[in-house]
Structure 1
Amino acid sequence: MWNEKKPSPPADSGHRVALIIFVLGLGTLLPWNFFMTASQYFNGRLTVHNGTLNGTSGITTKNYNYDSWMALLSQLPLLLFTLLNSFIYQWVKERIRVAFSLIVIFLLFSLTAALVQVSMQPDTFFSITMATIWFINTFGAVLQGGLFGMVSLFPPRYNTLFMSGQGLAGMFAAIAMLCSILSNAEKSSAALGYFITPCVATLVTLLCYLLLPHLEFARFYMNKSQGDTVQTSEELLSSTDKKILNGKDLETSGKMDESQERSSVLAVFKKIWLMALCVTCVFAVTLSVFPVITVRVQTVYKENTSWDKVFTCVCCFVVFNTMDVAGRSAPSLVQWPSKQSLLFPVAVLSRLVFIPLLMMCNVANSKLTVLFSHDFAFVTIMALFSFTNGYLASLCMAYAPQLVRCRDCETAGSLMTFFLVLGLAIGAAFSFLLGKLV
């Protein structure tokens, strides 16, 4: 009876679990992407129209540095609460963390949508928006940590699907913004429709998460660590079934069973430190110039008002997110360099070249020499920049759980999420400096 083979995993019928994990990935990055893509809307509301304030004509512009502050106040709570999540996940059930976070994010998006119809002073609007960004990303950090840990329990393919879903979140936001720009609706109505979209998407994400434990394939992997512990115990005892009453044998079995317990956070980090530093570098490079520098790049075809109107949305956000999704999906076809190869950290560090390349594009009122003035040059650089971001980040997140035991995958996933967000926070901090240089 003790020698029965381990049960084989059931089939993912209709790829339902794969689809749900993809949707969960999309839901984790919706808050960040919708606030980032709506840069033109927020900057527009932060412009002071003197005529409406004191009866005089003209416009006074106060530099709120919305893009830099948005990036920084998005990543600081993500960093702090992702670190906290790396330690508290053992005490607070994942189901509570994820479900509660999604509900709060939905309520905060609803508030943002309601504010579209409310007139207020730019200073007040800026303060409320920054507070909303802070709290929405606080719960986004808890959400990401919980979901990354859960997805790490599944085969590597599902980790890639989760990352692809995150990439699609940006494309989803960019297309929603493009539709609002091209619509003939009034600006406030278009903005209202834009912010209602993530409200609906967040509810769909919550429903998908609640459905996941009811699918047999998902249950098999989500309960795998507990099942493995029980089965390992049984196998150890069965091999000494005639000597079980011997105190020495019992002590040995106890030690072997103890070795199957979860490793400490530090022990797991020692195994995945290179992947953790790589994912930090990838996102630090990305956020140092995107969107702070890239949204300031202008088209050379200024006389074409229709193209000028959509240039930033298309060439900055749509191109970035489309190629980022392609990059995140590519590891399902090819994984190169391998996790043991020295070429992997070299490839990650080589992305530093994109910082000067993007700074020397056709940035408005640039202090630097413009070497890449044409739209095509900017789109080409953005495509390579975003593809490598998605590809290398996805490889990092897929490789890390492979370096630890099955029962340590959740810890590895939470740690990798922390270092991912650390990279975003470092990039956001550097964006202030780079913004001043151009």
Structure 2
Amino acid sequence: MEEETVLKTPLKVTVSFYMLGIVTLLPWNFFITADSYWQYKFRNVSLEDEWDDLDAGLTPLQVSFMPTLIIVSNIFATLFLVVNSFIVTRVSERVRLLGSLCVSFSAMLLTTIFTFTNTDALFMAMIQGSSYGLAGMFPINCINSMNSGQAIAGVFCSLARILSLVVGDKPLISGLVFFSIADVFLLASIADYIYLTKMEIYAKIKNKAENTESTQVAKSDWETYLVVFKKVWLMGTTYAGTLFVTLMIYPAVMVYVTSYMPESQWTKVYFQPTITFLVFNLGDLLGRETPRWIPWPGPEGWSLHILGAARLIFVPLLMLCHGDNKTFPTVFNHDSYYIILITLFAFTNGHVGTLTLIYYPGLLKSEELEVGGAIMAAMLGVGMVVGSLLSPGFVALWGPK
């Protein structure tokens, strides 16, 4: 029956969830992709046009900005993911999604105008948490579409960054263009969500959930959260652990990996945007798409959770890759080692995370799906914060001078 429902899901619904997935991470991806913009902003101004020379050295702000951005963004994201999980039964999904989309657009527009500060992470978290709850009520392929949309956002940002380098844009212009694109996508996502709520399938699914809920014995919010949490905690822990491992070193440490080849346009300009960002995001996207055809490991037993925990091995392996002026040992000098490792790292990030999102709705009743999605998103936020809090320690271990 579930398979039949999936097949009947209209293409326009699937596209809508792709769009929601893209917009939850597009602004964030542009912030971490516009590295040259931030390096320019925090440069040693006394160096004038020589601020980006390899021999110039990095200012303390240039070294600390990326891990600090990750920590601050994830703390606010987690705060609002937790808030969202508690208001999911009190505030309607329409108010949460439309409200947070509008506020995020306003904040991103201000960011574009000032071209300086990331002020929208907290409301992007509200969008993400509410979107997971909404997607959990739809057929499984909608969750997959939204999840893949997040990876598409990363690929899009990486390609935009490389294109800006090819045409030779200045850092300030690149930052302005990136943030303006995010504005357009946020505005389009507001229209997309409104269009989704007008579809017949949306009305049917919402009515079914409301009718089912009305026949249940009333429970307090805390009882509902506790019952749902007991059902999804293991999937949620694995989901959170996936991002925990990833954010420990990506992108805070990985932005310091350099090519072993002699200095050239490739090593100085294109290596990081292409390998660290584009290859990672393509691997992540592939990992999120493969569960559509290869749903392995299955939900039963511990295989999926062991696979998620095994990703920790990538942390020391990637730390052993080549970098200039690093104090951590280097074992994998050749670029091919780094490309293989970061591809596998990204693929398992997408694959394991997507499988947990596909499997958790099967553990819940239909009236518990929205709360379950919000709890999964809140647990993800906890993993993100803990991982990002550890990232400055790994940057220090790496030892860029």
Q: Output the TM-score relative to the length of structure 2.
A: 0.91
The residue aligned with 2:156 is: 172
Give the aligned residue type for 1:198: A
- 8 Å Cα contact 1:183/1:190 also seen in 2: no
Q: Which runs of 5 or more residues in structure 1 are unaligned? A: 1-7, 53-57, 117-124, 234-256
Which of these residues, 355, 358, 361, is aligned with residue 401 of structure 1? 361
Cα distance, 1:186 vs structure 2 = 3.8
SS of the counterpart of 1:271?
A: helix
Q: How big is each residue's C-alpha offset from its partner over 1:154-186, in whole Å with a ceiling of 9 and x where there is no partner?
A: 111111111111111111111111111111344
CA distance in 2, matches of 1:187, 1:79: 30
The residue aligned with 2:31 is: 35
**How many equivalent residue pairs?**
387
Query: Is 1:159 aligned to 2:143, yes or no?
Result: yes
Which of these residues, 144, 149, 152, is aligned with residue 128 of structure 2? 144
Structure 1 ranges of 4+ moved more than 6 A: 8-11, 259-262
Question: How much is the aligned-residue C-alpha RMSD, in angstroms?
Answer: 2.3
Cα distance, 1:318 vs structure 2 = 0.3
CA distance in 1, matches of 2:233, 2:316: 28
- 8 Å Cα contact 1:82/1:418 also seen in 2: yes
The residue aligned with 2:51 is: none
Judging changes above 3 Å, is the alpha-carbon distance between structure 1 residues 11 and 380 closer, same or farther for their aligned structure 2 residues? Answer: closer
Cα distance, 1:261 vs structure 2 = 9.7
SS of the counterpart of 1:221?
A: helix
Judging changes above 3 Å, is the alpha-carbon distance between structure 1 residues 197 and 302 closer, same or farther for their aligned structure 2 residues? Answer: farther
CA distance in 1, matches of 2:204, 2:228: 24
Give the aligned residue type for 2:371: T
Judging changes above 3 Å, is the alpha-carbon distance between structure 1 residues 51 and 274 closer, same or farther for their aligned structure 2 residues? Answer: closer
Q: How big is each residue's C-alpha offset from its partner over 1:27-71, in whole Å with a ceiling of 9 and x where there is no partner?
A: 11112211111123202210121266xxxxx97843120110010
The residue aligned with 2:297 is: 337
- 8 Å Cα contact 1:261/1:407 also seen in 2: no
The higher radius of gyration belongs to 1
Cα distance, 1:311 vs structure 2 = 0.6
Cα distance, 1:229 vs structure 2 = 4.8
- 8 Å Cα contact 2:243/2:384 also seen in 1: yes
Judging changes above 3 Å, is the alpha-carbon distance between structure 1 residues 260 and 406 closer, same or farther for their aligned structure 2 residues? Answer: farther
- 8 Å Cα contact 1:293/1:358 also seen in 2: no
CA distance in 2, matches of 1:303, 1:402: 53
Give the aligned residue type for 1:412: G
Query: Is 1:437 aligned to 2:384, yes or no?
Result: no
- 8 Å Cα contact 1:361/1:370 also seen in 2: yes
Cα distance, 1:336 vs structure 2 = 1.2
The residue aligned with 1:102 is: 101
CA distance in 1, matches of 2:30, 2:6: 37
Judging changes above 3 Å, is the alpha-carbon distance between structure 1 residues 419 and 229 closer, same or farther for their aligned structure 2 residues? Answer: closer
SS of the counterpart of 1:258?
A: coil
Give the aligned residue type for 2:297: P
CA distance in 2, matches of 1:79, 1:370: 34
- 8 Å Cα contact 2:34/2:174 also seen in 1: no
Q: How big is each residue's C-alpha offset from its partner over 1:324-353, in whole Å with a ceiling of 9 and x where there is no partner?
A: 011111111111111112211111111000
Point out the more displaced range, 69-78 or 258-267. 258-267
Q: Output the TM-score relative to the length of structure 1.
A: 0.83
Query: Is 1:62 aligned to 2:59, yes or no?
Result: yes
Which of these residues, 165, 169, 186, is aligned with residue 202 of structure 1? 186
Give the aligned residue type for 1:215: M
Point out the more displaced range, 426-435 or 168-177. 168-177
- 8 Å Cα contact 2:78/2:382 also seen in 1: yes
Q: What are the within-5 Å matches in structure 2 for residues 248-259 of structure 1?
A: 257-258=216-217
Judging changes above 3 Å, is the alpha-carbon distance between structure 1 residues 356 and 61 closer, same or farther for their aligned structure 2 residues? Answer: closer
Give the aligned residue type for 2:329: T
- 8 Å Cα contact 1:11/1:217 also seen in 2: no
Give the aligned residue type for 2:204: F
- 8 Å Cα contact 1:301/1:308 also seen in 2: no
Q: What are the within-5 Å matches in structure 2 for residues 362-401 of structure 1?
A: 362-401=322-361
The residue aligned with 2:114 is: 115
Higher helix share goes to which structure?
Answer: 2
CA distance in 2, matches of 1:94, 1:312: 39
CA distance in 2, matches of 1:104, 1:224: 30
SS of the counterpart of 1:166?
A: helix
Q: Which runs of 5 or more residues in structure 2 are unaligned? A: 49-54
Q: How big is each residue's C-alpha offset from its partner over 1:255-275, in whole Å with a ceiling of 9 and x where there is no partner?
A: xx4279986101111111111
SS of the counterpart of 2:343?
A: helix
- 8 Å Cα contact 2:240/2:383 also seen in 1: yes
Cα distance, 1:285 vs structure 2 = 0.4
Q: How big is each residue's C-alpha offset from its partner over 1:325-383, in whole Å with a ceiling of 9 and x where there is no partner?
A: 11111111111111112211111111000000110001222212211111111110000
Q: How big is each residue's C-alpha offset from its partner over 1:213-239, in whole Å with a ceiling of 9 and x where there is no partner?
A: 111122222322123356xx5xxxxxx
- 8 Å Cα contact 2:9/2:139 also seen in 1: no
Cα distance, 1:431 vs structure 2 = 0.3
Judging changes above 3 Å, is the alpha-carbon distance between structure 1 residues 399 and 324 closer, same or farther for their aligned structure 2 residues? Answer: same
CA distance in 1, matches of 2:47, 2:151: 42
Cα distance, 1:106 vs structure 2 = 1.6
Query: Is 1:49 aligned to 2:8, yes or no?
Result: no
CA distance in 1, matches of 2:139, 2:382: 26
Cα distance, 1:107 vs structure 2 = 2.0
SS of the counterpart of 1:29?
A: helix
Point out the more displaced range, 371-380 or 60-69. 60-69
Give the aligned residue type for 2:41: R
